[in-house]
Structure 1
């Protein structure tokens, strides 16, 4: 049988799609998966079709688990759908992403961060245990002391993300929901942020250290860090921090904005360069694969 894993992937993906489109009972699906698995072991003739059904159920169970409320401290239980003033404590899932925008010839910074919430305080109430991931929007630039893994406390308006403004348009709320994010916290500025557990020492993630080193390396020999340098960082490292709207607009209008996202094309180019260099110094092909594959994983992890 040619390409046997294609059928496996399609069945599993079908289950994930079903879980995304419909609200499926988790317990019933687990029972059905056990029944189907048992029948597949006992009935050899129909095992192929039953295994396909089992893969669909496995995908549906996995998709449902990603969105199901499993804890009494889930933010969806504590919060509801109405925006509320809240202070949250938790850990940064990754280093905050900063963007610069231009409006009326003035630059403004916006920062987006994802926080794994551990505690929440509504208004002036008491602190409550909480479980969930939120997105934090800040109309300002945060300091370098904020990075992935850092314990933080943030104050703002907590509420559901905005839905699509019209049918058929991009639904940001649905996009965040698929990432396990059901609420966003809107702050007024960087003053609403505090480092929690300031006595502990947190180490900056290796991906941040790599991108900092790569950025400094790319800047060597350049007279200044101008728009050309920011374009180079965006195309090679996926860093669009200093990519202003004036530079990005031509790419958006020409439909080539995707060149700034690290994609299969970037990975293929990096793999080709690494393979060419290793083959140039006469490294065997098998050894090249053992070196290139881990480096590619590291590159994709560091650049997002």
Structure 2
């Protein structure tokens, strides 16, 4: 029996004494049409649960498939995702690299544990987005970040001009250790959010406007000038002390993007694009909720990232 999208058909398969004959119509020992198998895989990658996939297939062709069968099909992705994750990166130079981590739940030794998913994306020399790789590891730490960077370097990644990320201390240390001569750009959006959180909730509207003005300036000189105006205006008010301290401490790391061409600045001042990608991964992860093991997490997230890398490849340059 061969299950196809139009239903189940019965095939009479010729057998030879040597057993070396195999029809080209379908794979040997296959019970489902290859097109139907690919459709089921596509549904899983796009965030459809295995239970819903079985219901869709039953409505589509009148035949049921088990959840375990759908789950086993996803293992076909392993060699594809593994090959993609190990592909060489020395074919071009990536001047701008973005890194971030998100957390997922995985079953391990009969327990549910939290694991970090490290994702790295980049902008190429011809100003197109791409995805460099991912890693599923334990909690976010200096050692884990350094290991991730060493993997990327072993595949041919050269020291970029700028690495954009949030202000995780272990991540900053790993960047300094792994990439000589690379500057670190602290995410502009995260930084402003950190400052606003430390402002008084009442009567701070003017201060908020002044902070926004700093990061909307078109020259470094204006940014520093507006910053000094803010610091001088509120330096004697204790309720602004924490916010001003945060601004002063992280200011230089947050304006590194200003040293690069104006047309690219809007794309390299924050990790917003990478966070949107993380949200797409999260949307599919929410369907599963708890991954059965680390390999299944790597498989699904890798397949999602491969889809988006293909989309990035087809898009035009960020800079016109």
Question: Shorter-normalised TM-score: what interval?
Answer: under 0.3
TM-score, length-scaled by structure 2: 0.22
Higher helix share: 2
- Higher RCO (C-alpha under 8 Å, 6+ residues apart): 2
Larger-gyration structure (1/2): 2
TM-score, length-scaled by structure 1: 0.23
